[in-house]
Amino acid sequence: MGDELNLMRKKFCRIMTGIGSVMEIMPYADYSRFVPKMTARERMQRHWERTGLHLQRAFNRFTSEYEQYEQEKKN
């Protein structure tokens, strides 16, 4: 009977330790606001659109600076 009681206590302690471990990984706050609302395809499209916008801005700036350089070189 004593061995059974010790075995039950050990099992109980293991179960409680397991429950405590699960509680440790449960978040205290709501993180759903960080979950993307758009699909992966929509997000990729948005990123490529932004990439294109940045490339266009860089090209326009380069062209403007190059034209200015050419004008200064002529003068």
Mean pLDDT by 10 residues, the chain (75 residues): 82 81 69 87 96 98 95 87
Question: Residue 45 has what pLDDT?
Answer: 97
Question: Residue 5 has what pLDDT?
Answer: 81
Q: What does the domain layout of the chain look like in residue ranges?
A: 1-47
Instruction: Find how far residue 43's CA is from the centre of its chain.
Output: 13
Q: Does the model's pTM come out above 0.75?
A: no
Return the sign of the alpha-carbon dihedral for residues 14, 16, 20, 22: positive
Q: Which helix (H) or strand (E) holds 27?
A: none
Report helix, strand or coil for 14.
helix
